[in-house]
A and B are shown apart, each in its own frame.
Chain A
Amino acid sequence: MNQIVGYAFIFIGLGLNVIGCIGLMRLPDVYCRLSSTVKCVTTGTCSILIGTIVIKGFAGASSSGGSIKAFLCIIFLLLTAPVAAHAISKSAHAFGVKLWEKSACDEYKEDKDANKIS
């Protein structure tokens, strides 16, 4: 039973990873690519780690501390991945990467021109 539920979590995570990587390949813009990829890949990898926790058992003797490490890894991923994506997109905007031509608006640039943010 543990094996079945755990592999179900792992396959959900793999599907999310594939969807995120298709977004990385097909979308037209750096910002669209970051927005799709980092969300999907982070959620998928967290689902894979939850699957390993379910298979090993959370605090049993068979896990020997691996489940707690996997839980720590989930917390690290959820904390660090959005920060890194935000830093990459902000630096891309400062580097001068153009938006897609069908994008509606660029509020960050408007706020910069109006001196609302440094």
Chain B
Amino acid sequence: MNVALFVPCYVDQLYPHVAIAALGLLEALGITVAVPEGAACCGQPPANAGFERRAEHTLGAFVSTYAPYDRVVVLSGSCAVHVRSHAGSLGAAGAQVAERTTELCAFLHDEVGLDAVASLGASFPRRVAVHVGCHALRGLGLARPTELQGPRFDKVRALLGTVQGLTFAELSRPDECCGFGGTFAVAEPAISAKMGRDRLRDYDAHDAEAVVSTDVSCLMHLGGLAARGGVRLPMLHVAEVLWSEERRANSEESERVRSSLLAPRSSLGGPS
């Protein structure tokens, strides 16, 4: 299987260590991953702001870049949902890319399997609050949202359940939106910030020692609020937890990876 990784624009620029962890993780699982050039964005931000037309070129570039691959693993639930929901409007090639597009955790859970992920031997001895992004949750079905009835499942928790020492903080509102919402964060700054602060309070009330999410965009918002409020709460993408420090230490590239990680993580209050 011909697998490509899509690293969203803001992850590429501001959170390179997350993409490095995702790549390291997939490679450690024996998957050959391409990260093709040619698409920096899926077009979601302008489309959700009401400029879908203008975002068509961006989504078109995504489609043509990823058309040659059997699987497009997106490092963001939100971007994955955008491609899956809208690429089909760009014709047959778009529809095929839409169908082949998935998100990292969904790919790991559904196609790689928990046994393989567990074999990585990740360790993260902390109580974590899990934040499944709303689009990953309700758009991709990574977990059963609390509104819906039926057997409970949570693919993200299942993945994190393979990590040694990791325990879960049980939150009052396990799937309340964090308030990022793309341009919502700047169009409705008062409510957006209030929603995020309320999530931080929920984490604090349940003694969370880290927040782990499917979506770095949510973490950028939550992390920004935490930093402003002087709250030291590490915020990590699932890939960073699964591709643990221990594994990194054994990796050939440990030094190079570590140097990339150092700058961004330390001032967010990351694990020391």
Tell whether A and B belong to one assembly. Answer: no
Show the binding face of A for B, using Cβ within 8 Å. Answer: none
Show the binding face of B for A, using Cβ within 8 Å. Answer: none
